Amino acid sequence: MKLCVLGIGRMGLPMARRLCAAGHTVQVWNRTRAKAEALAAVGAQVHDTPAAAVAEAEAVVCLLEDGPVVAQVLFELGAADAMPPGSLVIDMSSIKPAEARAHAELLAQRGVSHLDAPVSGGTVGAEAGTLAIMVGGDAADFERAAPVFAALGRATHVGPHGAGQLTKLANQMIVGITIGAVAEALLLAERGGAHMAKVREAITGGFADSQVLQVHGQRMVERDFAPRARMTVQLKDLRNALDTASALGFDAPVTALFERLYAQAIADGLADLDHAALFVELARRNGMT
């Protein structure tokens, strides 16, 4: 397919590289051009504007910071108006469901289709092509996007426009809350005299086991909080979940508690660390270094 990727960051770079390796013709744009230049070596063409990048694309993949940035790139910087009629936007950014629905409506007015298709799996999944992709939109457009998704991971059509983003919020609620549960439990075990690494090993395979225990729990054991998914991104997702819950008249007290914990961690200087660094905030509260 003739593809375009808008946003070449921590996720966009490996995902665009995989699309090139899969044989697609890939055009790319990033606000800071230097971040996209590395893709020229694998066959991508780098552009100075999003409008130039999308001009001949059958599908445009967005991997941008948040909903307002997606709206700016599509509707203020000229991308949507430059896309060919009948083309498809596959927005893999993590934004609010309401924003995704609004973007779909504005694109439809221009004769352009839309899927909201956020992902889970982090940079490791992006590099390996094992992302979980949650897709909202029309079933026919989901089928059209199959060659794109095949290079990136496992895609599931979960409902109409906005449903992909709603699923991603559910994912981020579970991840953010589980990180807190793992951190608090491991710290309690250590305070009581147990060996943290052995506690994690002992509960592996039981009902408490999870990908979070395995990956983030190991980071906690090793005190390795180099950013893969930043604290600030986790907080953004929890706040988007709470905004969505409020709009639906849904009470989410557990998510609200963790929104406050992540916000305090960021206020305490942990903004640039991995979201597993909630461990550091909980350790600080208990006087544990």
CB 229 within 8 A of CB 274: yes
pLDDT at position 84: 97
206, 156, 169, 128 alpha-carbon torsion, rounded to 10°: 70
pLDDT at position 168: 97
Please, which pLDDT band fits residue 123 given cuts at 50, 70 and 90? confident
Please, which pLDDT band fits residue 228 given cuts at 50, 70 and 90? confident
| 195-204 average pLDDT score | 98
Please, which pLDDT band fits residue 259 given cuts at 50, 70 and 90? very high
Please, which pLDDT band fits residue 124 given cuts at 50, 70 and 90? confident
Examine the pLDDT at 122 and tell me if it is beyond 90: no
| 58-75 average pLDDT score | 97
Residues of 220-258 as b/e, b for ≥16 C-beta within 10 angstroms? bbeeebebbbbbbbbbbbbebbbebbeeeeeebeebeeb
| 235-253 average pLDDT score | 96
Nearest Cα to Cα of residue 188 among 282, 71, 115, 73: 282
pLDDT at position 159: 98
Q: What is the distance between the alpha carbons of residues 165 and 160, in angstroms, rounded to a whole number?
A: 10
| 38-63 average pLDDT score | 97
Of 36 and 124, more confident: 36
| 210-233 average pLDDT score | 95
Examine the pLDDT at 211 and tell me if it is beyond 80: yes
Q: Which helix (H) or strand (E) holds 166?
A: helix 163-191
pLDDT above 90 covers a percentage of the chain that reads 97
Percent of the chain as helix, strand, coil, to the nearest 5: 55, 15, 30
Q: Give the domains, in start order, of the chain with CATH numbers.
A: 2-160 (3.40.50.720), 166-285 (1.10.1040.10)
Residue 230 is classified by DSSP as: B
Given the residues 2, 96, 168, 198, the one annotated as active site: 168
Return phi, psi of residue 101, to 5°.
-65, -40
Give the tokens for residue 26.
Answer: 């890939």
| 157-171 average pLDDT score | 97
| 148-173 average pLDDT score | 98
pLDDT one-digit tens code per residue, 21-38 = 999 999 999 999 999 999
| 203-210 average pLDDT score | 98
pLDDT above 70 covers a percentage of the chain that reads 100
Please, which pLDDT band fits residue 229 given cuts at 50, 70 and 90? confident
| 58-86 average pLDDT score | 97
| 129-158 average pLDDT score | 98
Can you tell me whether residue 244 is helix, strand or coil?
Answer: helix
Return phi, psi of residue 256, to 5°.
-60, -40
- Is 168 assigned a catalytic role? yes
pLDDT one-digit tens code per residue, 80-119 = 999 999 999 999 999 999 999 999 999 999 999 999 999 9
HSE of 49, CA atoms in CB hemisphere, 13 A = 12
Find all residues with CB under 8 Å of 190, minimum gap 6, and list them: 196, 199, 288
> At residue 85, what is the residue type?
P
pLDDT at position 289: 77
Q: What is the distance between the alpha carbons of residues 19 and 14, in angstroms, rounded to a whole number?
A: 9
